[in-house]
């Protein structure tokens, strides 16, 4: 029996999703920056035949907002029906988190204060007296360490008690100057009786005439001027404020009261006396964001990650490839034994099985190395520092440092980067981040770039990763340049105000990192690639086996594209590979190999064999360079394009997010081709 | 000394916020993060390229660009 719905809310970065996952046993991605929970996630909490729906809301700095990501939380807390809320706070920055908690408690009568990361706070010498906190606020409170699973049982007990009405909150209201309280009191009865708002929060927002709240209110209940009782009460309240001189900067006055109330609560509940809270962070930061050390360390760190990914992936890749070959042989014998015709055998093995095995053996190892490392950086809190370090560069391109984060997400997966752009407040800057997102090579393209680099430019992995780092740096610079061009043309504007929180450094939980990065990211993306690879393998096999006038469809298509492709230093086969790999970039290289070999992928063995096959078909170093560049800049994969459409709801921006990287890639390849012809006639 | 702002602080300096001349969305955001008159702020970090700087306010470290930080006025604490 479902006994109610409880919301989970809090500032970004307080470990809210960790709490949610720990309580519901769901594996939702969590990370050390905002924008991780996009949209709401629902999970169930079960006990003795009773069930509670837990809703994980995106982390928000405030309920007063007009940013898209935060609206979801505000709309839910303000306007949806639910039995209560758990406000998750970070024990290390309780004061700031309490400001949000107070807002929420002014809105929802049943609130549990859940102080997370108590273990971290303890290490920093911050002592929190949960009992005092609860007494001071009038709210039930609990201290937990979600990552260590400490206190979760008690928390879920409390959630059940809250939903059953056994746990009562008796919120000690925030005090405001008399005139403001008087004005709010005029509005309260109308808001309570007619619109069902129990707390003071809506009254305050109406008095402030806060845009975001008012417009959503009017969306749901009709315009305020048309609501007779409310508009009468509102004008009466406004007169009260005006008469006592409180109309000017009302938001500032109201916010001050909450801020100082939060400070007051902390004074009685938190003991900072051990006073070494920020020492360690300050030390780490002076290196990681230092004037001299900050940027080089960042480059070395990312270079090292690429190196590990490149060099570490070779051996497991070969192993997997051999394994697939073995299984393939077993399949073949099986098919032979049941007397399957040779066409079917070829279709299944050379078509589907080979593409599948390529995708898995090429993609899985690098992802299984890259994602844990990346998640590690995320987990310890390094990524917001990247945004901090690089903001000036992005500002000069007309955008903001948060774009560095969406780029990082984009390296993992383009679609993730596009959705992640919600962390950027300014709509203009968000669009720029979306359109330029595919400039950074995603995981589907990195292995191909790595393979081509190894095949044609270097055999050594150190040099290879250096080249790869350069390629990524180049792609970042290009995306800055293109962002700047966009800022000056279709998305004209000056950089909006920018603020980013630098969270405390955390000790990483290695086990969690591995589980999360392997299951949430690696396997998810792999699964998607496999789903695409199977039909793609079928289509490609058909293209390379159905012939007209003695030529396969694939060859005819490649020949048709060839003259055009050669202008850009590519060839028809390469270009058709790119086009056919629209569903997933991972399969581009195998399609090219298939086109060259004229058959299935059966011949595709080691890198050197593949290189020999490519070279035998006139694939020069220039072609290789142009292909790498085109891998960096062409169009996003189908999934990403669909995601852009979902995020922007605009054909124009979706088309631009395809056209901009494509034009960039074509121009660069064109130039490279001409220069190469001049240098090596 | 009224014209001292967050952006004038060097690393390690403190000030008491007296007035926000910030506008628009950021004003709201700063208020909600507790950047209200009477609040103590410390400059704790400067980005490698000199801008933005990060400030410790009410237990959280917030990075702001020079242009935006210049709108948060106050008195320097010696």
Q: Is the pLDDT of residue A660 over 80?
A: yes
Q: Where are the beta strands (DSSP E) in A445-514?
A: 499-501
Q: Which residue of B has its CA nearest to A267?
A: B58
Reported as type and span, the H/E element at residue A547 is strand A547-548
Q: Is the peptide bond before A658 cis (omega within 30 degrees of 0)?
A: no
Following CA atoms A651, A654, A658, A661 in sequence, which dihedral angle do they give, to the nearest 10 degrees? 130
Quick check: A497 and B62 CB within 8 A? Answer: no
What residues of B are in contact with residue A499 (Cβ under 8 Å)? 26, 29-30, 33, 62-64, 68
Q: Among A552, A532, A531, A534, which Cα is nearest to A543's?
A: A552
Q: Is the pLDDT of residue A113 over 70?
A: yes
Mutate to test the interface with A, among B36, B44, B62 (most CBs of A within 10 A): B36
Quick check: B46 and A291 CB within 8 A? Answer: yes
How does the average pLDDT of chain A come out, rounded?
Answer: 86
What residues of A are in contact with residue B26 (Cβ under 8 Å)? 497, 499
A85 beta partners = A7, A111
Q: Is the pLDDT of residue A650 over 90?
A: yes
How many other C-beta atoms are found inside a 10 Å radius of the C-beta of residue A460? Answer: 10
- Cα–Cα distance measured from residue A98 to residue A227, given in angstroms and rounded to the nearest whole number: 34
Let me know if B42 is exposed, middle or buried by CB neighbors in 10 A (0-12, 13-18, 19+).
middle
**Token duo for residue A56:** 């994980």
**Token duo for residue A445:** 């393209």
A162-176, A207-221, A490-504, A527-541: the lowest-pLDDT one: A527-541
Block residue for tokens 């996003």: A636
Q: Stretch A111-137: mean pLDDT, rounded? A: 92
**Chain B: closest CA distance from residue A260 (Å):** 8
Quick check: B62 and A501 CB within 8 A? Answer: yes
Q: What pLDDT score was predicted for residue A277?
A: 64
Following CA atoms A538, A364, A513, A391 in sequence, which dihedral angle do they give, to the nearest 10 degrees? -90
Please report which confidence band the pLDDT of residue A353 belongs to, taking 50, 70 and 90 as the band edges. Answer: confident
Q: What pLDDT score was predicted for residue A604?
A: 55
**Token duo for residue A21:** 């996952």
How many other C-beta atoms are found inside a 10 Å radius of the C-beta of residue A190? Answer: 21
**Token duo for residue A55:** 């809703």
CB-CB: which of B46, B48, B58 is closest to A95?
Answer: B58
Q: Are the C-beta atoms of residues A438 and A657 closer than 8 Å to each other?
A: yes
A143 beta partners = A115
- Cα–Cα distance measured from residue A363 to residue A349, given in angstroms and rounded to the nearest whole number: 19
Q: What pLDDT score was predicted for residue A375?
A: 79
Q: What pLDDT score was predicted for residue A473?
A: 86
How many other C-beta atoms are found inside a 10 Å radius of the C-beta of residue A119? Answer: 17
- Cα–Cα distance measured from residue A465 to residue B41, given in angstroms and rounded to the nearest whole number: 43
- Cα–Cα distance measured from residue A347 to residue A345, given in angstroms and rounded to the nearest whole number: 5
CA distances to A127, A276, A633, B59 from A273, in Å: 8, 9, 54, 14
Quick check: B60 and A263 CB within 8 A? Answer: no
Q: What pLDDT score was predicted for residue A667?
A: 95
Q: Are the C-beta atoms of residues A401 and A391 closer than 8 Å to each other?
A: yes
- Contacts of residue B30, defined as CB under 8 A and 6 or more positions apart, other chains included, come to A499, B20, B22, B72
- Cα–Cα distance measured from residue A625 to residue A58, given in angstroms and rounded to the nearest whole number: 42
- Cα–Cα distance measured from residue A78 to residue A341, given in angstroms and rounded to the nearest whole number: 65
CB-CB: which of B27, B30, B60 is closest to A93?
Answer: B60
Mutate to test the interface with B, among A256, A502, A506 (most CBs of B within 10 A): A502
Q: What's the distance, Cα to Cα, between the start and end of chain B in Å?
A: 12
Alpha helices in A270-401 (DSSP H): 279-288, 294-337, 342-346, 354-380, 383-396
CB-CB: which of B20, B27, B48 is closest to A295?
Answer: B48
DSSP A440: S
Q: What pLDDT score was predicted for residue A168?
A: 83
Q: Which residue of B has its CA nearest to A401?
A: B52
Class level of CATH domain A2-163: alpha beta
Q: What are the pLDDT digits (tens) for A27-81?
A: 554 443 444 445 677 888 888 888 999 988 888 888 887 666 778 889 999 998 8
Please report which confidence band the pLDDT of residue A522 belongs to, taking 50, 70 and 90 as the band edges. Answer: confident
Please report which confidence band the pLDDT of residue A594 belongs to, taking 50, 70 and 90 as the band edges. Answer: confident
- Contacts of residue A563, defined as CB under 8 A and 6 or more positions apart, other chains included, come to A572
Q: What are the pLDDT digits (tens) for A265-306?
A: 999 998 876 666 678 888 999 999 998 999 999 988 888 887
**Token duo for residue A439:** 């400039």
Q: What pLDDT score was predicted for residue A274?
A: 60
Q: What are the pLDDT digits (tens) for A369-404?
A: 877 887 788 888 898 899 999 999 999 998 888 898
Q: What pLDDT score was predicted for residue A603?
A: 47
What number of CA atoms fall less than 13 Å from residue A83's CA on the CB side? 20
Highest-confidence segment of A333-347, A410-424, A564-578: A564-578
> Residue A127: what are its φ and ψ, rounded to 5°?
-105, 130
CB-CB: which of B22, B46, B60 is closest to A96?
Answer: B60
Mutate to test the interface with A, among B14, B24, B28 (most CBs of A within 10 A): B28
| Contacts with A, B 22-51, CB within 8 Å | 22, 24-34, 36-39, 44-51
Please report which confidence band the pLDDT of residue A586 belongs to, taking 50, 70 and 90 as the band edges. Answer: confident
Please report which confidence band the pLDDT of residue A349 belongs to, taking 50, 70 and 90 as the band edges. Answer: confident
How does the average pLDDT of chain B come out, rounded?
Answer: 90
Interchain CB contact of B70 with A (< 8 Å):
no
Q: Stretch A584-597: mean pLDDT, rounded? A: 82
Q: Stretch A496-516: mean pLDDT, rounded? A: 81
Q: What are the pLDDT digits (tens) for A431-479?
A: 999 999 999 988 778 878 878 887 888 766 667 767 777 888 899 899 9
Q: Among B74, B18, B33, which Cα is nearest to A103's?
A: B33
Protein fold of B4-77: SH3 type barrels. (2.30.30)
Reported as type and span, the H/E element at residue A6 is strand A2-10
Q: β-pairing, B14-20 with A2-10?
A: unpaired
Quick check: A291 and B65 CB within 8 A? Answer: no
Q: Are the C-beta atoms of residues A309 and A357 closer than 8 Å to each other?
A: no
CB-CB: which of B44, B58, B63 is closest to A499?
Answer: B63
Domain boundaries, chain A: 2-163, 178-245, 294-679
Reported as type and span, the H/E element at residue A113 is strand A111-116
Q: What are the pLDDT digits (tens) for B13-29?
A: 999 999 999 888 888 88
What residues of B are in contact with residue A392 (Cβ under 8 Å)? 47, 49-52
What residues of B are in contact with residue A65 (Cβ under 8 Å)? 28
**Token duo for residue A437:** 């997102």
- Cα–Cα distance measured from residue A639 to residue A641, given in angstroms and rounded to the nearest whole number: 5
Say which residue, A495 or A548, is predicted with more confidence. Answer: A548
Measured in residues, chain A has a length of: 681
Block residue for tokens 């760190």: A301
Q: Among A567, A545, A514, A266, which Cα is nearest to A375's?
A: A514
Quick check: B63 and A391 CB within 8 A? Answer: yes
- Cα–Cα distance measured from residue A224 to residue A71, given in angstroms and rounded to the nearest whole number: 20
Please report which confidence band the pLDDT of residue A493 belongs to, taking 50, 70 and 90 as the band edges. Answer: confident
- Cα–Cα distance measured from residue A524 to residue A518, given in angstroms and rounded to the nearest whole number: 8
Mutate to test the interface with B, among A388, A423, A496, A506 (most CBs of B within 10 A): A388
């Amino acid at each position: 029996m479902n006994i109610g719905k409880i919301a989970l809310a809090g500032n970004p970065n307080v470990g809210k999703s960790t709490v949610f996952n720990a309580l519901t046993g769901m594996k939702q991605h969590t990370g050390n920056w905002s924008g991780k929970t996009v949209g709401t996630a629902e999970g169930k909490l079960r006990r003795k035949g009773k069930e509670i729906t837990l809703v994980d809301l995106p982390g928000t700095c405030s309920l007063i907002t007009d940013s898209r990501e935060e609206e979801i939380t505000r709309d839910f807390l303000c306007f949806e029906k639910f039995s209560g809320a758990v406000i998750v706070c970070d024990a290390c920055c309780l004061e700031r988190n309490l400001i949000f908690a107070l807002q929420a408690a002014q809105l929802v009568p049943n609130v549990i204060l859940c102080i997370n990361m108590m273990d971290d706070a303890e290490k920093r010498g911050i002592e929190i007296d949960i009992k005092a906190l609860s007494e001071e606020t009038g709210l039930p409170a609990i201290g937990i360490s979600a990552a260590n699973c400490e206190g979760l049982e008690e928390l879920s007990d409390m959630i059940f008690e809250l939903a059953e009405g056994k746990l009562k909150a008796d919120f000690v209201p925030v005090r405001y100057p008399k005139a403001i309280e008087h004005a709010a009191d005029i509005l309260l009865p109308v808001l309570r009786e007619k619109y069902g708002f129990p707390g003071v929060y809506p009254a305050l927002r109406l008095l402030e005439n806060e845009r975001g709240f008012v417009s959503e209110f009017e969306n749901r209940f009709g315009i305020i001027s048309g609501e007779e009782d409310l508009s009468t009460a509102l004008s009466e309240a406004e007169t009260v404020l005006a008469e006592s001189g409180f109309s000017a900067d009302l938001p500032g006055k109201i916010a001050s009261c909450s801020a100082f109330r939060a400070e007051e609560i902390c004074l009685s509940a938190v003991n900072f006396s051990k006073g070494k809270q920020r020492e360690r962070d300050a030390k780490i930061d002076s290196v990681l964001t230092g004037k001299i050390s900050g940027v080089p360390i960042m480059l070395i760190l990312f270079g090292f990650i690429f190196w590990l990914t490149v060099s570490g992936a070779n051996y497991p890749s070969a192993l997997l490839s051999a394994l697939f070959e073995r299984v393939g042989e077993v399949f073949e014998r099986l098919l032979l034994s049941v007397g399957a015709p040779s066409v079917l055998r070829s279709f299944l093995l050379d078509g589907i099985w080979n593409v599948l095995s390529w995708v898995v053996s090429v993609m899985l190892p690098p992802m299984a190395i890259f994602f844990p490392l990346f998640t590690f950086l995320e987990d310890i809190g390094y990524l917001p520092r990247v945004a901090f370090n690089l903001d000036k560069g992005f500002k000069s391109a007309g955008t903001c440092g948060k774009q560095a984060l969406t780029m990082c997400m984009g390296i993992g997966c383009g679609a993730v980067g596009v959705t992640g752009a919600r962390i950027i407040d300014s709509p203009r800057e968000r669009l720029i981040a979306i359109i330029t997102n595919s400039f950074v090579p995603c995981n589907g393209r990195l292995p191909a770039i790595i393979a081509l680099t190894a095949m044609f430019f270097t055999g050594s992995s150190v040099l290879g990763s250096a080249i790869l780092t350069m390629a990524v740096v180049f792609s970042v610079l290009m995306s800055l340049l293109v962002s700047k061009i966009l800022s000056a043309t279709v998305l004209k504007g000056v950089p909006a105000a920018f603020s980013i929180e630098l969270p405390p450094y955390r000790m990483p939980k290695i086990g969690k990192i591995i589980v999360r990065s392997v299951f949430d990211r690696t396997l998810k993306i792999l699964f998607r690639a496999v789903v695409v690879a199977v039909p793609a393998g079928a289509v490609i096999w058909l293209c390379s086996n159905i012939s007209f006038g003695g030529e396969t469809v694939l060859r005819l298509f490649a020949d048709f594209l060839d003259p055009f492709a050669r202008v850009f230093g590519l060839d028809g086969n390469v270009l058709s590979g790119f086009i056919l790999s629209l569903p997933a970039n991972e399969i581009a290289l195998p399609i090219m190999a298939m086109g060259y070999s004229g058959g299935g992928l059966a011949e595709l063995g080691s890198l050197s064999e593949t290189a020999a096959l490519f070279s035998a078909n006139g694939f020069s170093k220039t072609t290789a360079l142009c292909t790498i560049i085109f891998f960096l800049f062409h169009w996003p994969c189908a999934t990403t394009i669909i995601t852009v459409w979902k995020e922007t709801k605009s054909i124009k921006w979706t088309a631009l997010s395809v056209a901009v990287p494509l034009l960039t890639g074509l121009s660069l390849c064109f130039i490279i081709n001409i220069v190469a012809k001049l240098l090596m006639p | 000394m009224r014209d001292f702002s967050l952006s004038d602080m060097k690393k390690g300096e403190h000030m008491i916020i007296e007035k926000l001349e910030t506008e628009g969305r950021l004003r709201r955001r700063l208020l909600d993060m507790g950047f209200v008159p009477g609040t103590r702020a410390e400059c704790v970090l400067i980005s490698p390229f000199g801008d933005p700087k990060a400030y410790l306010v009410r237990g959280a470290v917030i990075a702001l660009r020079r242009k935006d930080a210049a709108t948060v006025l106050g008195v320097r604490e010696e």
